[in-house]
Structure 1
Amino acid sequence: MKTSLGLLRSLPLALAGLAVLGSCDTSKQGVDAAANASSSATSPAGTSAPRRSSGLPTMQKNGINLTPFDDSPKYTEAQLRLTSPPPGATQPSGAVPFSYELTNFRLTQMTGSEHAAQMANSMKGQHIHNIVDNQPYSAHYETKFSKPIADGQHVVLSFLSRSYHESLKHRGAYDLRVVNVGQAPPTPLNVDLRAPHLFYSRPKDTYTGPAETQRVMLDFYLVNTTLEPGGNNVRATINGTEFMLDRWLPYMMEGLPIGQNTVKLELVDSSGTLIPGPFNSVTRTFTLQP
């Protein structure tokens, strides 16, 4: 009886000890889970875990909703290097050959994000945007291609893009340079590549069906500047309605009418004055159809 009584008296202490051990094990699992989540954010080359949305506020004017988002896969280790043509090079008239080296980024891979189903998405996967003189970009799914460019001096911007055409915006993800085409001495553009520049990217061309027309992404590229409240902004005028953008992010446009739509982008200073530059004011049209 004494032995049984001792066991009964020690049982609560044993159960308490097990609870503590269980608590410690649960805490360890939480730490391990956090570590696994952290390690999954750094994925094999060309992959990345999506981040959770930051809940950025929507701007609303005249039936248009404009919502910034920053929860796409980041690919922060992705690097693009344009090896040909070299800066300032003179290429023969006609198609100019381009050659890139990429690290930690996979062309033709579909970007793993819910946004892939929420807007226009290239079924060919991730790609390179090549922009000449801020004209509409051409999309390329291989690291080597040729592109017809008129004779003269040109500014060429290249950057990496997710499959749904959202640009990668860190320093290693883009290249900006001057290229000369043709044998005649080109007329100098007198473009300072160290100055602030704005380049237009999306929207572009025609969007068809509810999956593409209900939400249309607005995306642009900045070089040598950033956006902030009280600093430089991008003034986006959408179908005549003006929005001031103080974050360099993609924006989801909703409430656009079927038919032709117009977007004007301007890089402005804190007083709303256009910052000088050949590409810092651009207007494009695009079409939505049922």
Structure 2
Amino acid sequence: MKKLNFLIAFALMALFVACEDAPKKENTSSEKDSETKMEEKEKSIKVYELEGSPEFPDAEISMLSPTSPNVEAGEVEFAFQVENYNLKDQTENAGENGLANSHHGQHVHFILNNGPYSAHYEDAFIKELPEGEHVVLAFLSRSYHESVKNEKSYTLAKLSVGEPTEEQKLDVDFEAPHLFYSRPKGTYKGKEQTDKVLLDFFLLNAELAADGHKVKATINGEEFMLDNWVPYVMEGLPLGENTVALELVDADGNFVEGPFNKVERTFTLAEADKEENEMEM
């Protein structure tokens, strides 16, 4: 009798365990579905290195004016010497890589304090500078806005404009790593400009590597770790407003302190304008 009771108890226990296991299997399946959906979400934007751009290893730019780091507030004349690079030329593969291209040709990207750049197709121009201390970065750009990246393709300067207050002064170490944002910018119109969008930035005193510094790019909330200083292409972006945030991090993923090493920008993708076929920025 005791043996029979034992067998009944054992059978009931086995049945109870089986019933307990059933919901767990359903949860596991649900978790797998969630993981799959998450993977699909992570792949909704594609980011890859741009290849095939003509190289300009000997291209140079240097600043001729202003000659003094101290200038008056207001209109400031900037002049540059450009060597081994032709401003206004169309870059050789322009129109073949699917990127928005300026019909004005190759130019200079002028950046003040890591703000949005202005494009200049002449080697001299006037900029309105407010009172304060400012960091000026100018680098050569291909006609489709990809920066030329070599040791002499840029010029960097700190200017004291007017009589800066203590709050307006900048403590910038030009020997430290710095990240400057370049593209994307503004509004892109039509399928030819919105299918592929250039992601580009300029680095100083930092080398990217799988086991070293990286740029963490967050695009519409999706994170990408970039370990090579090259131009990138983004695909799969929706029409409307998009957001890109860039952050320079070390080998452990920690933010590298610096006044320009974290930046966020928005840009817009729109349908083609019937009366305007080319974007100008």
TM-score relative to the length of structure 1: 0.77
Runs of 4+ in 1 over 2 A off after TM superposition: 114-117, 183-188
User: Is residue 2:90 matched to residue 1:110?
Assistant: yes
Contact 2:133 2:164 in 1 (8 A): no
How much has 1:188 moved relative to structure 2?
A: 2.5
Contact 2:94 2:101 in 1 (8 A): no
Match for residue 277 of structure 1 among 235, 250, 258: 258
How much has 1:224 moved relative to structure 2?
A: 0.7
Instruction: Count residues with an aligned counterpart.
Output: 230
| Gapped regions of structure 1 (runs ≥ 5) | 1-59
Contact 1:90 1:183 in 2 (8 A): no
Q: Counterpart in 2 of 1:182?
A: 162
How much has 1:116 moved relative to structure 2?
A: 5.0
Q: Deviation string for 1:42-98 (max 9, x for gaps)?
A: xxxxxxxxxxxxxxxxxx9331110102320111111101111236x1111111110
Contact 1:260 1:286 in 2 (8 A): yes
User: Is residue 2:203 matched to residue 1:222?
Assistant: yes
Written as runs of structure 1 = structure 2, the 5 A alignment for 1:99-248 is 99-113=79-93, 116=96, 118-184=98-164, 187-248=168-229
Q: Which SS does the other structure have where 1:172 is aligned?
A: coil
Contact 2:218 2:244 in 1 (8 A): yes
Moved more, 208-217 or 181-190: 181-190
Q: Deviation string for 1:195-238 (max 9, x for gaps)?
A: 00000000000000001000000000000111011100000000
Q: Would the alpha carbon gap of residues 118 and 261 (structure 1) be closer, same or farther in structure 2, given more than 3 Å must change?
A: same
Measure the CA separation in 2 of the matches of 1:140 and 1:114: 18
Q: Counterpart in 2 of 1:84?
A: 65
Q: Would the alpha carbon gap of residues 273 and 184 (structure 1) be closer, same or farther in structure 2, given more than 3 Å must change?
A: closer
1:86 counterpart letter in structure 2: T
Measure the CA separation in 2 of the matches of 1:223 and 1:279: 11
1:160 counterpart letter in structure 2: L
Q: Which SS does the other structure have where 1:75 is aligned?
A: coil
How much has 1:184 moved relative to structure 2?
A: 4.9
Q: Which SS does the other structure have where 2:152 is aligned?
A: helix
